[in-house]
A and B are shown apart, each in its own frame.
Chain A
Amino acid sequence: MAYPSMGEAHRRITDYLNNFSDAVSYQDVASLAQLFSFSSNSPPLLSVADALNFFQDANRLIKQSEKFSQYGEILAPLFRSLQSYRTGNLVDAYHAFEKFANAFIQEFRNWESAWALEALYVIAYEIRVLAERADRELASNGKSPEKLKGAGSFLMKVFGVLAGKGPKRVGALYVTCQLFKIYFKLGTVHLCRSVIRSIETARIFDFEEFPRRDKVTYMYYTGRLEVFNENFPAADHKLSYALTHCNPLREANIRMILKYLIPVKLSLGILPETSLLEKYNLLEYHNVVQALKRGDLRLLRHALQEHEDQFLRSGVYLVLEKLELQVYQRLVKKIYFIQKQKDPSKAHQLKLEVIVKALKWLEMDMDLDEVECIMTILIYKNLVKGYFAHKSKVVVLSKQDPFPKLNGKPVNS
C-alpha cells in the first residue's frame, strides 16, 4: 500500500468527486460505472481508497462544494465502503455498499431516461460479489452468513424499480439473472418463481427486447429449473436456446449448458456424438450414451456409480437413473432381433426366461416375477407394444412397431 502525502490524497479524492459529479451531469455511464467497480481492483480506484484511508476526513471534502454535497447521501457510504474494501473488512464494505446502492437507486429513479442502466448493472454485480465475500468472512469467524440473502432482497427492490413502462425496463432481465445466481448459490431456488412469473407474464415486458446476453443467461437458469422439475420438453427448449445463442467462444458457458442439456436429450431419445463430449470435456456421459445404444444395463449402472458424486452435485443423477427403462427397451429389442434372425415366425413371442437369462449375464439377478414387473412397466409406458401372457410367462409383441421410438418426446410418466 503506497501512502500518499496529504496533498496528494486530497487531490485524488477531489478528482474522484469531480469525476462522479461530471459523469452524472454529462450522462457518461462508462466513467460513472468505473467509480464503483470494486472487483476490478483497478489501480486508480485502489489509489483513491488508499487516499481515503490516509485522509480520514473525506466527508468534509464532500460538504465543501454543492457540486459534491448534492450527492452526499450516495458518496459518503461509497467512500466508507471503498475504505473497508481496501483494508479487507468485507462485512463493513458490504454494509456501506448496500447503503450507497440504496441511495443511488433513489437518485436513479429520478432520472427519466435509461442512460445510467449500465451503472446499475455494475452495482447489481458488485453487491452480489461483495455479499459472497462478506459471507465467507462471517463464516470464517464462526458467524451466520446472511449478507448474500440480504443482497437478494436488495436486488428484488431494484427489480421493482425497473419493472415499469419506461425504457429502464430492459434492465430487469440482468437483475433477474443476478438474482438467479444468488438463489442457486443459496439453494433457495424456489424464490426464482416470483421473478420468473413477472418476466414471463407481465405485460410491460417483451422478452425479445431484452439484451441477448441476458436472454442466454436467463434461459440457462430457467432451463436448469426445468431439469430439476423433470419437464424435459421445456428444458430442451430453454437450454437449446441458450446453446444456440451463446457466444461460441465462451466454452466454459457452452460446457455448462451441455452438462444439463445432455441428460435432457437422452431422456428424449437423442444422443450426443462422442466428438461433442470430447470437445467440451463431458466424458462422464460417454458410458451412459454407450449403455443406451447397446441396451447394456450393466454399463449404465457402472457409469452411474463411477460418476455418482458429479451427477449428484449437478442434480442430474435421478434423470440419468431413469434412463434405465430406455436401456431395458433397447435390450429387449435386441433380444427380439436376435430371435427374429433365428426363427422369424416365433420372434414376436418373448419368453420371460430368455430375458432373465440376458439380465443374469448383465449381472442383474432377477426372478421371473421381477422381470414380469419390468415388462409390465415397459408396456404401460408404451416403450413396448404388446401384452403379457401371464400363464405361459411370455410377452406377446405387437406385429407392428413393437418398440415405439420416443421421437423427441419423454417417456410417459
Chain B
Amino acid sequence: MLYLINNFQYTKTPLQEIFGFSVQFRFQEEMATEQPKSATEDVKIDLFEDDDEFEEFEINEEWEEKEGKEVTQHWEDDWDDDDVTDDFSLQLRRELENNTEKN
C-alpha cells in the first residue's frame, strides 16, 4: 500500500501492517488529507511533544571543539569478521549438526 505523507512516498511493509504507523506518521497523514476535526479531537492530536527538542545554546556560548571529536571515535566498522568461536556461533553449529533427531 502506498501512502503519501507530507509529499514523501511511503510504502507499508507487511510488518508495518501489524504494528501500524507511529503516532507522528498518523498525524502527518491526517494533515495531508485535511479532514475536518472537532475541537476536542484537535486538543489530543495537536498538542504534540517533540521528545527530542534540541536544548537552546546560550547566545555567546563558547566551547573547545577538540574535546568534541572524542565522542566521534567510538564506532567500529571491522566487527564483521570470520570469527565463529562466540557462544551464538557455537550454539548455531550444534543446531546444524543435530540433523537426525529433529526431523
Contact = CB atoms under 8 A, between A and B. Distances in A.
Interface of A: 118, 121, 125, 135-136, 139, 142-145, 177, 181, 184-190, 213, 216-217, 220-221, 224, 228-229, 240, 243-250, 252-254, 256, 259-260, 265, 269-273, 275-276, 293-296, 308, 312-315, 317-318, 321, 330-331, 333-335, 337-338, 341, 354, 357-358, 361, 405, 408
A358 B51 CA distance: 39
B54 A181 contact: yes
Nearest to A321: B15
Contact of B47 (A145, A220, A330): A145
B12 to A, nearest CB: 10
Contacts of B93: 338
A181 B77 contact: no
A330 B89 contact: no
Contacts of A121: 59
B42 A118 contact: no
B89 to A, nearest CB: 6
A168 B75 CA distance: 40
Nearest to A186: B48
Contacts, number: 161
B72 A315 contact: no
A136 B49 CA distance: 11
27 contacts: A135-B46, A139-B46, A145-B42, A181-B54, A186-B48, A187-B24, A189-B6, A190-B28, A217-B57, A244-B72, A249-B63, A269-B77, A270-B75, A272-B74, A273-B74, A273-B75, A275-B74, A276-B71, A276-B75, A293-B79, A313-B24, A317-B22, A321-B15, A331-B92, A334-B92, A337-B84, A408-B77
Given A335-B92, A354-B96, A250 B57 contact: yes
Interface in B48-72: 48-57, 59, 61, 63-65, 67-72
A187 B8 contact: no
A100 B55 CA distance: 26
Given A181-B53, A271-B76, A315 B22 contact: yes
B50 A265 contact: no
Nearest to B5: A190
Contacts of A246: 68
Contact of B96 (A125, A271, A330, A358): A358
A109 to B, nearest CB: 21
Given A187-B27, A213-B61, A337-B84, A248 B89 contact: no
A249 to B, nearest CB: 7
Interface string B16-36: 100100111101100100000
